[in-house]
Amino acid sequence: MPAGPAVPLSWRCREDFIDYVEMTDDTSPAARAAATLPARPPLQAPLADDRTSALREKAAQTAALQLLDRERSLLQFNRRVLAQARRADVPLLERLRYVTIVSSNLDEFFEVRVADYIEAVRQPGSGITQADLAAVARAAHELIDEQYALFNHDVMPALEAEGIVVLNHAQRNAAQRAWVAKFFEEQVRPLLVPLSLDPSHPFPLVANKSLNFIARVGGRDAFGRQNQIAIVKVPRVLPRVIRLPAALTPGIQGFVLLTSVIRAHLGELFLGRTVESFSQFRVTRDSDLEVDEDDVTNLRQALRSGLTRRHFGQAIRLEVVSTCPDELTHFLLEQFGLPEVALYKVNGPVNLVRLNQLIDQAEAERLRFPPFEPRWPEGRLPPGHSIFATLRKRDVLLHHPFESFEPVVQFLREAVHDPDVLAIKQTIYRTGAQSVLMDLLIEAARRGKEVLAVVELKARFDEEANINWAERLEAVGAQVVYGIVGLKTHAKMLLVTRRETVVAAKGKRAAQTRLRRYAHLSTGNYNPRTARMYTDLGYLSADAGLTADVDAVFLQLASQTQAKAPRHLITAPFGLHNRMVKHLRQVAEAARAGKPARIVVKINALTDPGLMEALIDASVAGASIDLIVRGACMLPPGVPGRTENIRVRSVIGRFLEHTRVLYFRWGEGEDDEVLYLSSADWMSRNMFRRIELAWPVKDKLLRQRVIDEALVPYLHDKRDAWTLDSSGRYKRVAEQGASAQRALMQRLG
């Protein structure tokens, strides 16, 4: 795919940010919203779990401004992702990947968000009704129907035209059927155990998101009984996509799905009986780990026990194929205790996520994105030169994935192997089951360095990996803590303390030693794999004030003692929300006084009532506001008299936008603007129920670089950007023109 025209990346903030946007004329009436903006709430909210507080957000009532529904906003985000699968300028296999990404996102949507909705309906006074739940379900049904229609009628026929063909049983010739039969007999059948249901064989426990078959069989079993319903559980170890030998598929790349293999030979599992009807099915369950942290003595043990139960939580969604007979669907709904609205009949495999195996096996590089290799920033970090020596001269900004994540790995590797490094401290949120960074921390502990790891055990869907890393770190003598009870540690920090020799001044008798700290802060996770797919900013510094603040945060996380307010860092749940509201009010006051007033915020989600209220106030005052929000945004822009000075856009491209950048200007002086990088989105959970960081970029050159790379190109994107209107609908800006991500790949990669 060609790189496309580059976005100019040299505009100055004061010249370019003001009045840059082409306002949309799409101002359809505001849709009914399930939440409204509350009157000015207290800036500091009591701590609570995510689910309860989210419900309070939803239930807040006022006549000020109707907000957009968060769940439907999340579904709108997935519509934008699905739209990538329609684009002719996206390579075919990548279009299929976008289809699978939507399936993965929807799984989590049901496991978490819909599960919350169902729980809310049961709670008196939650403000959530069955009608709200039904509306979300309708929107989900529409999206899933569109997804399968696109999969069946656009993406798969286009792949077939390119010689990548998924053959069903009817399409397979005699030789192919013989090969599939042998594969079934040797590789599949030994792992399948059909279960005929009767009083001594009740309906089995079906794991979350597992593949299963239900069958209605005729005739009598080996004991002369007429038990008619049988369940076949398909083990996860079996491949879902199987490549046929090239000799059997001349001229094409032929594949078969595991579901097709089992379907063709299902009758062989019930010898002497007839399979009268059948369907594959899949159930999605509530996957929140419910652990009362105040009532457990060992959080790690409690979570490890809960991981097993997660696979068998409350059923939320039932998926069956569209040909599944009503008799079987009603039977399954009854077994899982689900209403009709929770049934999703799909025209294809019940788990499109597993089609990733087809993408990985297909031999067609031209149908994938062109290879992109992030660049080592040679001008700022000379190869072979000590990173510590560089940081003593200047701070370094890294822009992933356009620039390599390897400097972060090298920073830690240098610390591990440097005999003068005494201590290493790091937060661990999502590092993955395999991690060179965690291996380096283990090596540091083995070498006798003081290692402190703040491991977040409640990082959703990464709990098991984090528990395993915690145990491995403890086994080599590292000090492992799990953050603060009731709060998730979401901040991304790495701190190195080094003993250094200070050259003696003239007239002094001897050189002296002192301790110097070096820090890495990031908007994203310490995961080299996702750093190639997510956009994030990393910040390396030896600034004494900034690193002292980082050390104080680590001390507070480990000891839970009160600490002085940091001078450079801003932390949640203590002051981040207050500081953001303060800056929003400063901008509003400047606008009322006729001074330059500008806000540009790039985040992943905007749902916090207090921050939305302050944004509205700044808009009413006349400030110019641009919000680049990748996912859920509950604030409707363009409402006359309320948010008419607010513009909201979302950028969906090759990489997942993950960077959090916060810019405020409230005057003309150099001290009247500030730019922060942050680990936090503008959600109540991030502001009040997580350990988060934001830090100002004070170096003028680095600050301008953040503006030029992380804000300006996205405000001018004409290819991957969508704009939000006051009704909650998104409209693509254009399909041709400048692309922020492509420009950054061209400039930095």
Residues noted as catalytic: 490
Asked if residues 633 and 648 have their Cβ atoms less than 8 Å apart, the reply is yes
Provide the 3-class DSSP secondary structure of residue 111: helix
Residue with tokens 């993965």, as numbered in its chain? 104
Work out the number of other CB atoms within 10 angstroms of the CB of residue 136.
Answer: 23
Residues contacting 185, CB < 8 A, separation 6+? none
Cα 526 versus chain centre, distance:
14
Residue with tokens 């950048």, as numbered in its chain? 661
What residues does 512 pair with on adjacent strands?
502
Q: Which amino acid is at 437?
A: L
Provide the 3-class DSSP secondary structure of residue 232: strand
Residues contacting 209, CB < 8 A, separation 6+? 107, 282, 283, 284, 285, 351
DSSP structure class, residue 6:
P
Work out the number of other CB atoms within 10 angstroms of the CB of residue 676.
Answer: 22
Structure tokens at 713: 């190109």
Asked if residues 344 and 144 have their Cβ atoms less than 8 Å apart, the reply is yes
Asked if residues 170 and 261 have their Cβ atoms less than 8 Å apart, the reply is no
Asked if residues 234 and 261 have their Cβ atoms less than 8 Å apart, the reply is no
Asked if residues 135 and 58 have their Cβ atoms less than 8 Å apart, the reply is no
Work out the number of other CB atoms within 10 angstroms of the CB of residue 418.
Answer: 16
Nearest to 614 by CA among 187, 37, 17: 37
Asked if residues 338 and 318 have their Cβ atoms less than 8 Å apart, the reply is yes
Asked if residues 481 and 558 have their Cβ atoms less than 8 Å apart, the reply is yes
Nearest to 19 by CA among 588, 596, 735, 583: 596
Q: Where are the beta strands (DSSP E) in 371-449?
A: 396-400, 421-428
Mode of pairing for the β-strands spanning 450-455 and 479-481: parallel
Nearest to 323 by CA among 279, 284, 365, 258: 279
Work out the number of other CB atoms within 10 angstroms of the CB of residue 141.
Answer: 14
